Amino acid sequence: MLRVGMLTSGGDCQALNATMRGVAKSLYKSDKEVEITGFLNGYRGLMYEEYRVMKPSDFSGILTTGGTMLGTSRQPFKLMREPDENGMDKVEAMKSTYKKLKLDCLVVLGGNGSQKTANLLSEEGLNVIGLPKTIDNDLYGTDMTFGFQSAVDIATNAIDCIHTTAASHSRVFIVEVMGHKVGWLTLYAGLAGGADIILIPEIPYDIKKIADAIKLREAEGKRFTILAVAEGAISKEDAALSKKELKKKRLKNADRYPSISYEIGDILSQETGVEVRVTVPGHTQRGGAPNPYDRALATRLGAHGAELILNRQYGRLVVLKGTEVTDISLSESAGKLKYVDPESSLVNEARLVGISFGDK
């Protein structure tokens, strides 16, 4: 009997179910007798022995279903070594559950923080396989994560819908896209949606440069401007502050500005005299069915993960390199983020078509 545990950790996204399906179908098609245990609500299920033994039928009809049938939760990596409210050692509890169920392998579907914990468990002696999930596409070591392209579709659609009302009312519209630390989602959605200005965390902005870009469009007879703004966008002034100083400033502004987009909108109204509106698609970007690209990618990633399990190649993260699915060590990715390079060809090409990043 090959016993495999499976959990989904961190924020939900499209294609979690599709990826689990890819793993399960590939394992069931092997010549081994397989038992898959699904842990409920991420690492919490592994800690507190909350699980259910899955059946092959559980993995049927879920290719197009968003969310995760196992549920998920956020368990910050920095707190993994701290006891819970009852004094329980979380890492030892997870190891105990793994051994109690006589698992041969644990499959972790998650992003950066989740894979750091996966690497920790691997270093503690458990057999672990990681699968790269996040709408942010910021997991180091893979060119693409499942969930990203589906989120791009939704964010792009939001920008598309804003185009008509922005043109009708001759307004400046800000569409706030998810992404606290990296700007991949905002950059791709901004490009695909025809945004005039894109603001991402990796390129601190100058509000006066943004105002100049809006005024230039007006001078050219263009009646509206659309900004795609990452929720983690930051001004050059704020980027120069220490973490403590920045936190203090944001707490001070929290009542006035729900997010950075509202602050940018308020200042731009004063700088340009133009009416500015803010749209926040929010968690819709995580929801709904995965698009065809993510369904295909999820199936491929899941199948490769199953192959690693059958070959007993553990401590690996399944990744996409170019068009090929392969794998790297969990330790190679753990603790690192994949940022947008401000000097990359992608950013340069966006500048060539006239998109401003608010920095020059």
pLDDT in tens, 322-351: 999 999 999 999 989 999 999 999 999 999
Amino acid residing at 338: K
Torsion of the alpha carbons at 142, 339, 187 and 329, rounded to the nearest 10: 10
Residue 27 belongs to a domain: yes
Verify that 117 and 100 share a domain, yes or no.
Answer: yes
Structure tokens at 123: 């270093």
Phi, psi values for residue 257, rounded to 5°: -125, 110
- For residue 179, say whether it is annotated as part of any ligand binding site: yes
Position 170 pLDDT exceeds 90: no
Verify that 128 and 95 share a domain, yes or no.
Answer: yes
What is the extent of the structural domain holding 140? 2-146+290-332
- Distance (Å, whole) CA 39 – CA 43: 8
- For residue 113, say whether it is annotated as part of any ligand binding site: yes
Strand stretches in 67-127, DSSP E: 105-110
- Distance (Å, whole) CA 246 – CA 237: 10
Verify that 7 and 107 share a domain, yes or no.
Answer: yes
- Distance (Å, whole) CA 323 – CA 295: 15
Residue 297 belongs to a domain: yes
Which domain CATH number covers 238?
Answer: 3.40.50.460
Verify that 168 and 254 share a domain, yes or no.
Answer: yes
Answer whether 56's CB lies under 8 Å from 85's CB.
no
Number of domains composing the chain: 2
- For residue 136, say whether it is annotated as part of any ligand binding site: yes
Which domain CATH number covers 55?
Answer: 3.40.50.450
- Distance (Å, whole) CA 299 – CA 318: 12
- Distance (Å, whole) CA 163 – CA 224: 9
Verify that 7 and 142 share a domain, yes or no.
Answer: yes
**Average pLDDT in the 258-279 region?**
93
pLDDT in tens, 195-249: 999 999 999 999 999 999 999 999 999 989 999 999 999 999 999 999 899 989 8
Catalytic residue at 138?
A: no
Look at residue 171 in the predicted model and tell me its pLDDT: 87
Verify that 16 and 38 share a domain, yes or no.
Answer: yes
- Distance (Å, whole) CA 271 – CA 285: 31
- Distance (Å, whole) CA 158 – CA 323: 28
Answer whether 143's CB lies under 8 Å from 194's CB.
no
Please report where in the chains the tokens 């950790």 appear, as a residue. 9
Residue 83 belongs to a domain: yes
Look at residue 169 in the predicted model and tell me its pLDDT: 82
pLDDT in tens, 17-74: 999 999 999 999 999 999 999 999 999 999 999 999 999 999 999 999 999 999 999 9
Give the Cα-Cα-Cα angle 262, 265, 269 (nearest 5 degrees): 140
Considering 136, 138, 196, 327, which one is annotated as catalytic?
136
3-state SS, 15-43, equals: CHHHHHHHHHHHHHCCCCCEEEEEECCCH
Name 308's Cβ contacts closer than 8 Å, sequence gap at least 6: 129, 314, 316, 318, 327
- For residue 71, say whether it is annotated as part of any ligand binding site: no
Mean pLDDT rounded to a whole number for the chain: 96
- Distance (Å, whole) CA 195 – CA 174: 9
Structure tokens at 45: 């299920």
Verify that 112 and 177 share a domain, yes or no.
Answer: no
Look at residue 108 in the predicted model and tell me its pLDDT: 98
- For residue 354, say whether it is annotated as part of any ligand binding site: no
